[in-house]
Amino acid sequence: MNSHCVVRARVGSAILWLALLVALAAPVAPSRAEDGHQLWLRYPRLEEPWRSEYRAVAAQLVACPTGQTTAAGSEQSATPSSPLVVARSELARGLTGLLGASPPLASGVTEGGALLFGTPRSCALIAQERLPLRAVGREGYVIRSVVVRGRAATVIAGNTDVGVLHGVFHFLRLLQTHRPVDHLDISSSPRIELRVLDHWDNLDGSVERGYAGASLWDWKKLPDHLDPRYAEYARACASIGINGTVLNNVNASARILTRPYLVKVAALAGVFRRYGLKVYLSARFSAPIEIGGLKSADPLDPAVRAWWRSKVDEIYRLIPDFGGFLVKANSEGQPGPQDYGRTHADGANVLADALAPHGGVVMWRAFVYGRSKEDRARQAYDEFVPLDGKFRANVLLQVKHGPIDFQPREPFHPLFGAMPHTPVMMEVEITKEYLGFATHLAYLGPLYEEVLRSDTYARGRGSTVARVIDGSLFGYPITGMAGVANIGADRNWTGSQFDQANWYVFGRLAWEPTSSAAAIAEEWVRMTFSNDPQFVGPAVAMMMRSREAVVDYMTPLGLAHQMASGTHYGPGPWVHDNPEPDWNPVYYNRADSDGIGFDRTASGSNAVAQYAPLIAARFSNLTTVPERYLLWFHHVPWDYRLSSGRTLWDELVLHYTHGVDEVRAMRTAWSGLASYVDPERFAEVTRFLAIQEREARWWRDASIAYFQTLSKRPLPPGVAPPAHTLAEYEAVCFPSTEGYTSKTPACAPPNPVIP
């Protein structure tokens, strides 16, 4: 349907003439100031003809959850805490904003254009429609255009109240993005069961690797004061299908499991429950010692097992729908079962046994590494594959998307496809620890999509990572996907406007992992900013090229972990003096006078052998390995010719330069969109893109300056040299940055060469 230009409202003649004069002078920017707090749930007034068309479809609301008799003859009532009541409120809110008035709530379909929502148990009219609800499960929904008692109606139905709520958000999303709604036949259900945000929030209010202010959870005021933002947070999660939240850092404090804190957690759970959101906690493995008074946390000690059973029983008395535990153990100094000579399976199973009677789960992280001269990329696979099939049925192994640590680009983790008897869930980073924090525009949908679509060949062609984590490849009894949250107390929730899209795309892909990152980006842009195609096209194009730009100016051609130590802020490819070998960027780049890259073939660490034979053969061969992973798997001579015909050195320099050029192009594209965005958000994005370009140049110049001392090659013709000397770049140091403090005690002030 084509857009139409219309006069939105009657105004006084003076105001009208002023508006016309301004229109003749320049494009009119939206006058309403916005700060991003409403996320993608803004519900702005629609223009004609969309408003009239949607009003015809939604002329009245027919909910019938309070007093309608079902076909079975029983009467159902929605409680104030029911997601069905939230669904009704959301429909009224959305339709009021989009259409200008909320349709009246009717007890039955009396005229055309009715919206009928509920479950077969709560509404006899829905029960009579015999919708295909069995196929959509507990959280799914059906949206269908039907005829009820001779009148046109749109039914939003689910088997549960939560399913109805998800359907309501889908319907409103159709209106928000200008989609036709007169002939609907939609059935949708989540492919993945547990769709969880992991908050790395500490009890003191700080957030590890958080770039959006302090923690959202105000533990000092809980449980008596419930900040309205808690409900707003849960509403946003529900709108994109997220159904779980881990409240505290994986580097957990045992105090979260004490009764005073559990009472506070229960208060949050009471808010979240209305939105279908379960609460989980990160559990410290040594809690039996630290808060339980025991002398050991040995998972095979009967006293330890009894303590965990008692603690879990206490939690469920306070929080009947508690989801379970997330555990980081024997990683980065955290306590774990290996401290007692036990396995990860032993450690996970003691918690799983305590949770099982209540229906809870354990999400046991596979992010493990320690002192070793071996390749860090090998360690998780080597530790966990021998344990396949030894975990309890309610344990999921939570695996980062790549084998190192949330890098801008990594090959998929070899554990995907290697654990047929143990449910494996994927963990991705939403907060951008390694991708420019809050100020760099880096839409992560393409990263998630790249991993999800990667073929493990575990059971032949088509054994994608998506099919591993949704359970369809190996028949997992439980499935999950987790995202390390980027949410904080900042007014815009995520530190920047475009970072909201990463929260959004995580939820949408966790619901349906085969979705298109580009389609989701367009959806988010339309809901968050504007439906005008003159805005949508350039904005989506910026988002889709942004992550690749970051890869180019930070870690091109398969390089990884080239960030400064501790803070991970800015480049540090020269760093070599950290006590742990794999904390040093030189450990990963292996650059010398001969070449650059980490040899993970049979002549090196042989980490490539952890992949299926066909994939391993492809990655092992210099002529078949994808160039985006070239330096991940191979130590390559500087003069090696790539597919472009250029040498590796020239190609590396051109990638760094291209990354900067891409950011500059994004700045230019955004500068032409001012007339479609409110001034406040437009100005913020403009400032952040300027920061990104300066820091991209810093990354480019510092990296080239260092690697050129080893390659001893000239720059390609026409390429500008670094603006400063390597010594000046090496002298740059930041004692602390937002979200993390450097481990380096002595640190000079920031060097003025950094813009």
CATH code for position 505: 3.20.20.80
b/e burial code for range 472-508 (CB count within 10 A of at least 16 → b): ebbebeebbbbbbbbbbbbebbbbbbbbbbbbbbbbb
Domain boundary among 125, 153, 188: 188
What is the helix (H) or strand (E) element at residue 187, kind and residue range?
Answer: strand 185-188
The SS3 call for residue 106 is strand
**How is residue 186 written in tokens?**
């939609």
Active site residues: 332, 405, 433
Residue-level pLDDT at 565: 87
- pLDDT digits over 273-328, tens only? 999 999 999 999 999 999 999 999 999 999 999 999 999 999 999 999 999 999 99
The percent of residues in the chain predicted with pLDDT above 90, rounded, is: 85
Q: Give domain status of residue 21, yes or no.
A: no
CA-closest candidate to residue 512, choices 581, 448, 454, 447:
448
Q: Give domain status of residue 606, yes or no.
A: no
DSSP string, 584-638: SHHHHH---SSEES---STTTT-GGGGS-HHHHHHHH-TTTS-GGGHHHH--EET
- Please state whether beta strands 105-106 and 60-62 pair in parallel, antiparallel, or not at all (unpaired): parallel
Indicate if 208 and 87 belong to the same structural domain: no
Helix axes 533-554, 679-711, angle to 10 degrees: 30
CATH code of residue 154: 3.30.379.10
Indicate if 665 and 518 belong to the same structural domain: no
Indicate if 161 and 125 belong to the same structural domain: yes
Domain boundary among 171, 188, 205: 188
CA-closest candidate to residue 58, choices 188, 239, 186, 182:
182
Residue 753 confidence class, pLDDT cut points 50, 70, 90:
low
- pLDDT digits over 152-161, tens only? 999 999 999 9
Q: How far apart are CA 205 and CA 406, in angstroms?
A: 24
Q: Give domain status of residue 746, yes or no.
A: no
Contact 344, 354 (CB under 8 A): no
- pLDDT digits over 616-665, tens only? 999 999 999 999 999 999 999 999 999 999 999 999 999 999 999 999 99
The SS3 call for residue 689 is helix
DSSP string, 343-391: -HHHHHHHHHHHHGGGT-EEEEE-----S-SS-GGGHHHHHHGGGTT-S
Task: Answer whether residue 747 shows pLDDT above 70.
Answer: no
CATH code of residue 723: 3.90.1330.10
Averaged pLDDT for residues 661-670:
98
Q: Give domain status of residue 546, yes or no.
A: no
Indicate if 201 and 175 belong to the same structural domain: no
Please count the residues of the chain: 755
φ, ψ of residue 279 in degrees (nearest 5): -100, 135
Task: Answer whether residue 74 shows pLDDT above 90.
Answer: no
Q: Give domain status of residue 753, yes or no.
A: no
Indicate if 155 and 212 belong to the same structural domain: no
Task: Answer whether residue 23 shows pLDDT above 70.
Answer: no
pTM (two decimals): 0.93
* Residue where the block lists tokens 């779980």: 244
Task: Answer whether residue 1 shows pLDDT above 90.
Answer: no
Q: How far apart are CA 184 and CA 181, in angstroms?
A: 6
Q: How far apart are CA 288 and CA 175, in angstroms?
A: 52
Q: Give domain status of residue 6, yes or no.
A: no
Indicate if 92 and 126 belong to the same structural domain: yes
Indicate if 489 and 567 belong to the same structural domain: no
Domain boundary among 132, 154, 188: 188
> What is the residue range of 673's domain?
552-598+635-741
CA atoms within 13 A on the CB side of 34: 24
**How is residue 594 written in tokens?**
């001969």
Q: How far apart are CA 296 and CA 116, in angstroms?
A: 58
Which residues are within 8 A (CB) of 309 and not within 5 positions of it... i.e. 6 or more apart?
353, 354
Residue 587 confidence class, pLDDT cut points 50, 70, 90:
very high
Residue-level pLDDT at 62: 85
Indicate if 264 and 249 belong to the same structural domain: yes
Q: How far apart are CA 369 and CA 347, in angstroms?
A: 17
Indicate if 178 and 209 belong to the same structural domain: no
φ, ψ of residue 539 in degrees (nearest 5): -65, -45
Task: Answer whether residue 78 shows pLDDT above 90.
Answer: no
**How is residue 397 written in tokens?**
């192994």
Residue type, 378: R
DSSP string, 728-750: HHHT---SEETTEE-S-S--PPP
Residue-level pLDDT at 751: 55
Contact 165, 139 (CB under 8 A): no
Indicate if 148 and 226 belong to the same structural domain: no
Q: Give domain status of residue 720, yes or no.
A: yes
Averaged pLDDT for residues 674-702:
97
Indicate if 518 and 562 belong to the same structural domain: no
Averaged confidence pLDDT in the chain: 91
Residue-level pLDDT at 103: 87
The percent of residues in the chain predicted with pLDDT above 70, rounded, is: 90
Number of domains into which the chain is organized: 3
- pLDDT digits over 521-540, tens only? 999 999 999 999 999 999 99
Task: Answer whether residue 382 shows pLDDT above 90.
Answer: yes
- Residue 109 gets which letter from DSSP? -
Contact 560, 737 (CB under 8 A): no
Contact 662, 552 (CB under 8 A): yes
- pLDDT digits over 63-72, tens only? 665 434 333 3
Averaged pLDDT for residues 145-165:
94
Indicate if 559 and 506 belong to the same structural domain: no
Q: Give domain status of residue 556, yes or no.
A: yes
- Measured CA distances, 202 to 55, 215, 484, 679 (Å): 47, 8, 14, 35
